[in-house]
Amino acid sequence: MFKKLIAASTAKSPWIYHINTGSCNGCDIELVAVLTPRYDAERFGFKLAGTPRHADIVVVSGPITSQSKARLLRTLEQVPKPFCVVSLGSCPRSGNVFKGSYSVEGPLEKYVHVDVSVAGCTPKPEAVIEGLYTAAQILKEKRKAMAGKKEVAES
């Protein structure tokens, strides 16, 4: 009974955990703007989580630097399964203007599966909301698939 209640309550309110892996803060500002009353992403149930242990969606901004790579991977290990990874802006995908720097370790996809990629330098708030909404839909499908696997295992 409690499992059904928890599943129903978490389905409509995905929590976001944001990781900055060396960005210029442009994408970070746009993500925060999405949560303000002007764009109000909370109307879709999105809230910032204070810890990765409470997160459903992990948003990564910035190129993956040598200093941030280990922290990123350690943080992603703490996120409960299933979860979605959203790359915010051009930097996590290609390195953008930081590409070729001695401290850039490569694209985010090299280390973790990216579910949604929000393009732009910096992406518009509307694109960020659309990316988060898409991630929420993917998360819902992942949860259904995981529940199906548990039912088969219990049989």
Contact 61, 93 (CB under 8 A): no
Per-residue pLDDT tens, the chain, 155 aa: give them. Answer: 556 655 665 566 899 999 999 888 888 999 999 988 888 888 888 989 889 999 999 999 989 998 999 999 999 999 998 999 999 988 888 888 778 788 888 788 999 999 999 998 889 999 999 999 999 999 999 998 887 776 655 65
pLDDT in tens, 64-98: 998 999 999 999 999 998 999 999 988 888 888 77
Q: What is the pLDDT of residue 83?
A: 93
Angstrom CA distances, 79 to 58, 59, 64, 142, 151, stand at: 8, 12, 19, 14, 23
Number of neighbours of residue 100 by Cβ within 10 angstroms: 7
What are the structure tokens assigned to 22, written together? 């060396």
Is 77:83 a contact under the CB 8 Å cutoff?
Answer: no
R_g (Cα) of the chain, nearest Å: 16
- In the chain, the domains with their CATH numbers are 13-150 (3.40.50.12280)
Q: For residue 17, what are the β-bridge partners?
A: 58
